Amino acid sequence: MDIATILGIVLGFGFIIGAIVMAPGASLWGFVDYPSIMIVLGGATAAVLVCFPLRTVLGMGRVFKVIFFNNPPDIAKLIDQLVSLAETARREGLLALENRLEEISDPFLALGIQMAVDGTQPDVIEETLRSQMEAVAARHNAGRKILDNYGKFAPAFGMIGTLIGLIIMLGQLNDPEKLGPGMAVALITTLYGAIIANAVFLPAAEKLGYLHEQEMIAMEVIVRGIMAIQSGENPRVVAQKLATFVPPQAKRELKQAA
């Protein structure tokens, strides 16, 4: 579970609700308006359905699962594993790596090692792995675009709800006592759109982008590591090449291990 994501959303809504409660004369229930919620969420969802296929939108449950329950790859640990595989291949040959496939949990790494063991040409291995990377990037990009569009459409429908409320309010000008509450309800829709966009959808899109970058780095490390293993490079050289993808402290640890 990603504590940072949950903590960020809780703190964001918590500070907003706390500020409302502490404001003199403010009532929390005065900020609850179900028609406004319907306009913002329903309208944004309708707009997203126009932009994307139904199957893609229905798959957003998996995207939110990734955002809340993600496990970013440990690049340093991955490099250690690749260096260990390079040592085995250097000592016993590429065919010896077949006995280590069971200990590889990453399917992308397992695919590359299996292709190397099978004697596949280096350019074919790299082309296949790059194609896998492009497919993963396309799926991630679709999820992020949907979140970005939710963040874009929610404030817009909030403004639409405000305009609807103002039109209704202006139709009651003959009753001055209803102008104040009517204006408050009209502005709530804009508030909902701004909060939902900036506290949920746009930050979630940025988190998905960060996770995508980390996964792409891990996959790039795997591609370069497998190509180095197949070419029979020294494990120390493999470690030095792949160390460019990790922070300085982890890089020093990798050099010491090498």
Query: What digits encode the pLDDT tens for the residues 20-40?
Result: 888 777 777 878 888 888 999
For residues 138 and 115, state if they share a domain. yes
Residue 64: the pLDDT is 85
Alpha carbon distance 5, 72 (integer Å): 13
Tokens for 122, please give them. Answer: 């280096």
Which residues of the chain carry a pLDDT beneath 50?
A: none
Structural domains of the chain, count? 2
CA-to-CA separations, 17 to 67, 86, 137, 239, in angstroms, rounded: 24, 55, 37, 51
Under 8 Å between Cβ of 238 and 225: yes
For residues 8 and 39, state if they share a domain. no
For residues 104 and 2, state if they share a domain. no
For residues 85 and 141, state if they share a domain. yes
Q: Which residue has the tokens 């102008």?
A: 179
Residue 257: the pLDDT is 55
Average pLDDT, the chain: 86
For residues 4 and 40, state if they share a domain. no
Under 8 Å between Cβ of 229 and 89: yes
Alpha carbon distance 18, 37 (integer Å): 20
For residues 50 and 128, state if they share a domain. yes
Amino acid at 112: G
Residue 235: the pLDDT is 84
For residues 133 and 187, state if they share a domain. yes
CA-to-CA separations, 245 to 75, 125, 205, 240, in angstroms, rounded: 8, 21, 24, 10
Amino acid at 150: Y
Residue 151: the pLDDT is 93
User: Which among 169, 192, 170 is positioned nearest to 182, based on CA atoms?
Assistant: 169
Query: Cα 2 vs. chain centroid, distance in angstroms?
Result: 11
Amino acid at 138: A
Alpha carbon distance 111, 125 (integer Å): 9
For residues 3 and 59, state if they share a domain. no
User: Which among 224, 234, 233 is positioned nearest to 75, based on CA atoms?
Assistant: 224
For residues 67 and 8, state if they share a domain. no
For residues 104 and 228, state if they share a domain. yes
Q: Could you tell me where the beta strands, DSSP code E, fall in 38-99?
A: none
For residues 236 and 149, state if they share a domain. yes
* Structural domain harbouring 105: 34-258
User: Which among 39, 66, 29, 50 is positioned nearest to 181, based on CA atoms?
Assistant: 29
Taking the model in full, what pTM does it have? 0.82
Alpha carbon distance 164, 67 (integer Å): 34
Residue 166: the pLDDT is 84
For residues 27 and 43, state if they share a domain. no
Under 8 Å between Cβ of 133 and 142: no
